[in-house]
Structure 1
């Protein structure tokens, strides 16, 4: 790992102290998220060791906390729900981690870090809210001691209607008390003490189960764990298994990268002046790819950046990526010490830590704000949330991406072409619908407000003709091209069609303020073969030009 500056005692001390705090939080989280994914709890511990070293070597964020995360755990659980017969969940998780790593590595090789743009803010928030509610719903039966199963609302309700036990008294009492204590800790304790509360609660619950013999009351315990020795080896090389899990891995890769990059960039902006805070999207791809590939060869599960652990690392004073190295060392120590005590951990207490952790980040205000700003995006946000909660996270994420693309196509399908007039006494031109301006009877000024691409090019001639039909005396059209950043081949053909249509009507087409890259593309197409108009450096020059032109 190459550090951006000299690594001395002060930095090492700050990183080590931050690692001590974060490791305390990571222990209950990695156990809980492995259980949420339907995996043996020790897999969560394995995923918090060597993957952290891989990210430290390849990533760019000094505080991004890599490991099991709640949303990915839910996606993993649904992916593993349809495993072929004879394949264990642990083997499926290894294959998912390997595929996730390979997909991200290929994306890094092809420089596809722009993949983050596939998830718009409405889709991302709608997905996270739906996943949060689905996670809480999936843990509610465990919290109450119910025999209901499922990760979505119809499945859980269906199992209850089919006669599943709704609750178990002692389990529900212990789970409810755990939730109350965690919420009280968040309200009444300081920030650092509140973050220690889940670990203290787990220790107290293990002691209570051990000496109170809670299992005799029907309270489900985590049970004896196998020897916590790091299992090194390749994931199963079963082509059918890899093919079956590949669609899930693609969605996992997209979600892991986008969510991790959002966290890394958000915290990077807070760390200006605290060493190297620059975040490289390409490096984040490499870091996540390396972490997941290492997880696949060390008995882990798919990993990503965790918001809660990353914020805690930042607030605890972590300065460099060496914090992750120290956390891995502390987690290795935990592997040696926790095998026997963890057997006494009540599952309902672990479910309580998951529910309180994920529900604490639930936010409804973005729905209200989106409804007031753009209802189509608000409806997409609501739809993604409902699909995740009532169908699956994969369907919600996939349909959310498609919905974002559909809204983009809708917005760009008809280019906005503004009719311009001159602000009196100036050389400035503005939209006639918004400003008091002066217009010329024989020269029309227009402005294309977006790039000319295949999504909108076909409508260009119709839009311009609509303006022209209102002014029969116009003999020249000057189009301001300053907002146009690119013209693809469809846009070039649309421009040629517009030129030809105007020429047949005896109207000349001129262009003003064409950007250099756009002009380079036009020149490369040898557009002077068909373009008879003029280019002007400023729109005012184009409007004031008195050069004669004879209609053919």
Structure 2
């Protein structure tokens, strides 16, 4: 127990070092005062620790969500501050996640396929870096898309001194990563910020360079978000997108590390934990939070054993708030922008696009299209494209069931696809294998596919008398699938062929027997596909009474 606490304490200290600069940077990236990032790194961590399930999910402000928050807060009505809008947004994100958890909708994480998620993250990474380049160069240019940012940059010049500060910060951060020391690379952002604050405070070197500015008293502001019905309605669509992206990305990170550590993750608990964290942020002056990949990896590598690590991280963040309030006012903004640019681009890779393109071109195109939508259109459009594209590809893949014509591998009782193996086929029986469940998305074309395989068999092998379908891969048949089987039975009878099944799974067989489907259509049933083939050789047709124990297959 003592060893676990010691490991969690050390991991908490290491992650707090990274979280301090990221909290400040991502709050400003979202268009919020920097102290909001610190507030979002206190009680939300405790709320997740109480209800979540992952011991290594690095919760807090996240770069991708910060970009989404900035776009959501860009259309606030006059008189509503960004801080007030962020509290409402966090409350809605927490409320939506809590409702989804209550309704057990953690399966919503499947709405975004991996290509869509990676495309979104890569596009957001590039947009985040692009949005910080003007700050790094001392320009006043802003924009939520790349074309808008470029147009604004043309109209505004750069400040040479700010560019020098930002360029030097980028170089130092990159050099810290090339030393080969993980410790130095992790500490570099904090050390750089401390050095920049000292230079800015005690030398004239930063004169004319934009600074973070005086912060209010860093006392945790506890209270309800603004209760304005119109504002809540206005931010609700953005909150739904932030909630979806926050949950999907957090769950992907947590599941990946859970598999690596041999631990069990509970998606429903993750949804509850994220809901509680965002609700806590809305009550304590914060912003929407989620799991960070970089901080989660760091927690894992630092040896975190339990969710007590997040409690220790929150404690260290509170200590930082008490000690850094005055020095933070002198932090040059180009240095803060440099930490964002280097941090987010460190996780960017073009390799995912090439790998997806080589493996499945449609998914590679979806990944590229989602990235382009983030850069050229909007966050909401990119997420919508990712969800719709993922569903469309799923429907395309399942619109027609895969039915393979199979034959016996010589000298064995194994049956394989005739297009992939040298197999033996008998003229009087067409052996087929359905490779997926029969449901409404794919069952409509079943009869056409099977009749096409029958014609192939007739042309290449001989005239069949029956069609024996290996049903082992079929886990479910819905009403649409059942209708398709009835249509197939009728079509085969017109062709003078019998329909027979082999290796039907127990739950599927139970449903067919519950309505007497097999008896009504006189469909023979075989325990194994080999038995069905041999029955044709010896003119044996087992009765259904031979298989009358429910679920035995």
Q: Say whether the 8 Å CA contact 1:64–1:306 is kept in structure 2.
A: yes
2:163 alignment partner, one of 172, 177, 187: 172
Please tell me whether residue 41 in structure 1 is matched to residue 58 in structure 2.
no
Corresponding residue number in structure 2 for 1:334: 320
Q: Say whether the 8 Å CA contact 2:518–2:524 is kept in structure 1.
A: no
**TM-aligned CA deviation for residue 438 of structure 1:** 1.6
After the TM superposition, which residues 214-225 of structure 1 pair with which residues of structure 2 at under 5 Å, given as runs? 214=205, 216=207, 218-225=208-215
Task: Tell me, in whole angstroms, the C-alpha distance in 2 between the residues paired with 1:538 and 1:278.
Answer: 36
Q: Say whether the 8 Å CA contact 1:137–1:151 is kept in structure 2.
A: no
After the TM superposition, which residues 459-470 of structure 1 pair with which residues of structure 2 at under 5 Å, given as runs? 459-470=445-456
Task: Tell me, in whole angstroms, the C-alpha distance in 2 between the residues paired with 1:201 and 1:383.
Answer: 37
Task: Tell me, in whole angstroms, the C-alpha distance in 2 between the residues paired with 1:363 and 1:24.
Answer: 25
Count of residues in Structure 1 that have an aligned counterpart in Structure 2:
535
1:492 alignment partner, one of 464, 473, 482: 482
Task: Tell me, in whole angstroms, the C-alpha distance in 2 between the residues paired with 1:227 and 1:104.
Answer: 31
Once the two structures are superposed, residues 77-112 of structure 1 have per-residue CA deviations (whole angstroms, 9 ceiling, x without a partner) of: 111111222221111111111111112112222222
Task: Tell me, in whole angstroms, the C-alpha distance in 1 between the residues paired with 2:378 and 2:370.
Answer: 10
Task: Tell me, in whole angstroms, the C-alpha distance in 2 between the residues paired with 1:464 and 1:544.
Answer: 21
Task: Tell me, in whole angstroms, the C-alpha distance in 2 between the residues paired with 1:15 and 1:448.
Answer: 51
1:257 alignment partner, one of 231, 247, 259: 247
Please tell me whether residue 227 in structure 1 is matched to residue 217 in structure 2.
yes
Moved more, 484-493 or 239-248: 239-248
Once the two structures are superposed, residues 201-223 of structure 1 have per-residue CA deviations (whole angstroms, 9 ceiling, x without a partner) of: 1111111111224564x211101
Distance 1:526 1:214, change over 3 A: farther
2:128 alignment partner, one of 108, 130, 135: 135
What SS is found at the alignment partner of 1:354? helix
Please tell me whether residue 533 in structure 1 is matched to residue 515 in structure 2.
no
Moved more, 108-117 or 431-440: 108-117
Task: Tell me, in whole angstroms, the C-alpha distance in 2 between the residues paired with 1:205 and 1:548.
Answer: 88
Please tell me whether residue 191 in structure 1 is matched to residue 177 in structure 2.
no
Moved more, 140-149 or 309-318: 309-318
Task: Tell me, in whole angstroms, the C-alpha distance in 2 between the residues paired with 1:447 and 1:359.
Answer: 48
Moved more, 340-349 or 435-444: 435-444
1:145 alignment partner, one of 138, 141, 159: 138
Task: Tell me, in whole angstroms, the C-alpha distance in 1 between the residues paired with 2:323 and 2:56.
Answer: 26
Task: Tell me, in whole angstroms, the C-alpha distance in 1 between the residues paired with 2:89 and 2:508.
Answer: 44
Q: Say whether the 8 Å CA contact 1:421–1:432 is kept in structure 2.
A: yes
Corresponding residue number in structure 1 for 2:300: 314
**TM-aligned CA deviation for residue 279 of structure 1:** 1.6
**TM-aligned CA deviation for residue 512 of structure 1:** 0.7
Task: Tell me, in whole angstroms, the C-alpha distance in 2 between the residues paired with 1:187 and 1:151.
Answer: 32
**TM-aligned CA deviation for residue 128 of structure 1:** 0.9
Please tell me whether residue 365 in structure 1 is matched to residue 351 in structure 2.
yes
Once the two structures are superposed, residues 419-452 of structure 1 have per-residue CA deviations (whole angstroms, 9 ceiling, x without a partner) of: 1112222222111111111212221111111111
TM-score with structure 2 setting the length? 0.94
Structure 2 unaligned residues grouped into runs of 5+? 542-553
Structure 1 unaligned residues grouped into runs of 5+? 1-7
What SS is found at the alignment partner of 2:251? helix
Task: Tell me, in whole angstroms, the C-alpha distance in 2 between the residues paired with 1:407 and 1:508.
Answer: 35
Root mean square deviation, CA, Å: 1.5
Once the two structures are superposed, residues 301-331 of structure 1 have per-residue CA deviations (whole angstroms, 9 ceiling, x without a partner) of: 0001111111222222222111111111121
Task: Tell me, in whole angstroms, the C-alpha distance in 2 between the residues paired with 1:129 and 1:477.
Answer: 50
Distance 1:317 1:468, change over 3 A: closer
**TM-aligned CA deviation for residue 42 of structure 1:** 0.7
Once the two structures are superposed, residues 208-244 of structure 1 have per-residue CA deviations (whole angstroms, 9 ceiling, x without a partner) of: 111224564x211101111111111111222222222
Corresponding residue number in structure 1 for 2:329: 343
Task: Tell me, in whole angstroms, the C-alpha distance in 1 between the residues paired with 2:514 and 2:237.
Answer: 41
What SS is found at the alignment partner of 1:343? helix
Moved more, 29-38 or 251-260: 251-260
Task: Tell me, in whole angstroms, the C-alpha distance in 1 between the residues paired with 2:341 and 2:166.
Answer: 10
Corresponding residue number in structure 2 for 1:283: 269
**TM-aligned CA deviation for residue 480 of structure 1:** 0.6
Please tell me whether residue 9 in structure 1 is matched to residue 18 in structure 2.
no
What SS is found at the alignment partner of 2:233? helix
Corresponding residue number in structure 1 for 2:549: none
**TM-aligned CA deviation for residue 523 of structure 1:** 2.4
Once the two structures are superposed, residues 510-532 of structure 1 have per-residue CA deviations (whole angstroms, 9 ceiling, x without a partner) of: 11111111112222343246421
Task: Tell me, in whole angstroms, the C-alpha distance in 2 between the residues paired with 1:192 and 1:269.
Answer: 25
Corresponding residue number in structure 2 for 1:410: 396
Task: Tell me, in whole angstroms, the C-alpha distance in 2 between the residues paired with 1:311 and 1:323.
Answer: 13
Task: Tell me, in whole angstroms, the C-alpha distance in 2 between the residues paired with 1:469 and 1:13.
Answer: 71
Q: Say whether the 8 Å CA contact 1:496–1:530 is kept in structure 2.
A: no
